[in-house]
Structure 1
Amino acid sequence: MNISDDYRRGRHVVSRLHVHLVFVTKYRRGVFDSAMLDACERTLRDVCDDFGARLVEFNGEDDHVHLLVEYPPKVTVSALVNSLKGVSARMLRAEFTSQVNQASIRGHFWSPSYLAVSAGDAPIALLREYIEGQRRPAPTR
């Protein structure tokens, strides 16, 4: 499948599907710092690649993350979210064990709920600007 002219073109389909996702940490605990957000973004990009999707924009604050994902029509948003949350939770717990444990998040890293908003009518540039404007925690030394 080729991606060109802002449209994804396949043998039998032409599409341009975007979803704005928001994942919140369990109990809305402020866990993230800049390094954790960077690691989370790398992992989420890899998961998107595995689905044939593309992470267009990513940012977050200390207790939640925003993603703008362009995805193919064969992928269901719920399956993509399940994988994004599962893989990132395992990676973050393994790589940042002490920070996750200090936040007293027992069992799950992410809240079981999530926000998924179709980006069909909103200009993608406006969504990207909104996500870029999140108050990312400053890097720790």
Structure 2
Amino acid sequence: MYRSCTTQPYKWFTDELQDIRTGRHRVLATHVLVFVTKVRHKVFGDRHPSRIEQIMGDVCADFQAELVEFNGQSNHVHLRVNHPPKTAMARPVNSLKGVSSRQLRQEFPDLLRHNYQANKPWSRSYFAGSMDGTPLNAVKQHIQQQNHPA
């Protein structure tokens, strides 16, 4: 369906998706990221999620991105990130995983007792998706339903 809007060409799009941000020459959506632990081992306990969230929030700020929401379980984390289109998504993802891995190993030396092979918490793979057409409430609900590790 074609919609005409001369003053704000993306207004109809942003009205429908509600979580789209616009700038002078860009339109961008929130990204959903999922990082899993190596071999899906249950690595994280009660004390880890808040520190991981803090580390990842700092890394996002370094990339002029915003960590909107964070949650996870003992073997994976979910992030909702507003990311500017200045850099490819792979760059902040590599930093998020690398910096968090390094800081977690320094602060919690016993954290990786399950993963003796590489001494790294994260799998090399990750999921990154934009919220194109997915209702924001559905994504929020899914992330919030992830239980913190027990």
TM bin, normalised by shorter chain, reads 0.7 to 0.9
Between the two proteins, the alignment pairs up a number of residues equal to 132
Instruction: Indicate yes or no: 2:29 matched with 1:17.
Output: yes
Instruction: Indicate yes or no: 2:76 matched with 1:60.
Output: no
- Cα 1:6–1:25 shift into 2, 3 Å: closer
Instruction: Provide the C-alpha distance between the structure 2 equivalents of 1:62 and 1:82, rounded to a whole number of angstroms.
Output: 21
Instruction: Provide the C-alpha distance between the structure 2 equivalents of 1:106 and 1:93, rounded to a whole number of angstroms.
Output: 14
- RMSD over aligned Cα atoms: 1.7
Structure 2 unaligned spans of 5+: 1-17
Partner of 2:146 in structure 1?
A: 134
State the identity as a percent. 43
Instruction: Indicate yes or no: 2:87 matched with 1:75.
Output: yes
- Structure with higher Rg: it is 2
- Map 1:1-141 onto structure 2 (within 5 A): 8-10=21-23, 12-100=24-112, 102-107=113-118, 108-138=120-150
1:1-50 residue CA offsets vs partner (Å, 9 max, x unmatched): xxxx955454x424232111110111111010121111000000001111
Preserved CA contact (<8 Å) 1:44 1:88: yes
Cα offset for 1:127?
0.8
1:102-139 residue CA offsets vs partner (Å, 9 max, x unmatched): 2234323211001111212112222111101002123x
Structure 1 unaligned spans of 5+: none
